[in-house]
Amino acid sequence: MIRNKEDGRYLLVQRDANCKYYPLQWSFPGEHSREGEDPGDAAVRGAEEELELSLSKETLVPLVEHTQPHAPGTTQAFLVDLPEDQTPVLKEGAALGWFTLEEIKGMSLGFGHQDLLQYLT
């Protein structure tokens, strides 16, 4: 999960209409680990591939291992503050937006991400 330190909002990505899972639903950006890949490395890779963000693995704060309804196993949820000198660029998905935690609580999120809100402040 990517947070803007200045205003406390979180970045969400709206999925494409033709996605197999959760079409047009909003979710926190993220990436599944490839075989043998560390979850932190996957998060850094995903931020670069999907949002053109250069994150440092050392700045990722592990929150919880998360089970997704459509996939076996768990994924690691991280929190990271958006680097001040970077702006996300949408590379995958229909839209991206910044939302307060209160706004997110009223949304229907894909990937079971509603379960992650309890770990955010």
**Range(s) of the domain holding residue 19:** 2-119
With cut-offs at 50, 70 and 90, classify the pLDDT of residue 34. Answer: confident
What residues contact 30, with CB distance under 8 A and at least 6 apart?
A: 43, 46, 75, 77, 111
**Tally of domains in the chain:** 1
- Answer whether 12's CB lies under 8 Å from 103's CB: no
Q: What is the pLDDT of residue 33?
A: 82
DSSP string, 40-106: HHHHHHHHHHHH-----GGG-EEEEEEE-TTSSSEEEEEEEEPPTT------SSSEEEEE-HHHHHT
Q: pLDDT digits over 49-65, tens only?
A: 999 999 999 999 999 98
Q: What is the pLDDT of residue 68?
A: 75
Q: What is the pLDDT of residue 121?
A: 77
Predicted TM-score (pTM) of this structure: 0.92
Q: pLDDT digits over 85-118, tens only?
A: 999 999 999 999 999 999 999 999 998 899 999 9
- Evaluate if residue 3 carries a pLDDT over 70: yes
Mean pLDDT of the chain: 92
Q: What is the CATH number of the domain that holds 22?
A: 3.90.79.10
The residue that leads in pLDDT, 38 or 75, is: 38
What's the rounded Cα separation, in Å, for the pair 91 and 41? 19
Q: DSSP assignment, residue 109?
A: B
Q: What is the pLDDT of residue 72?
A: 67
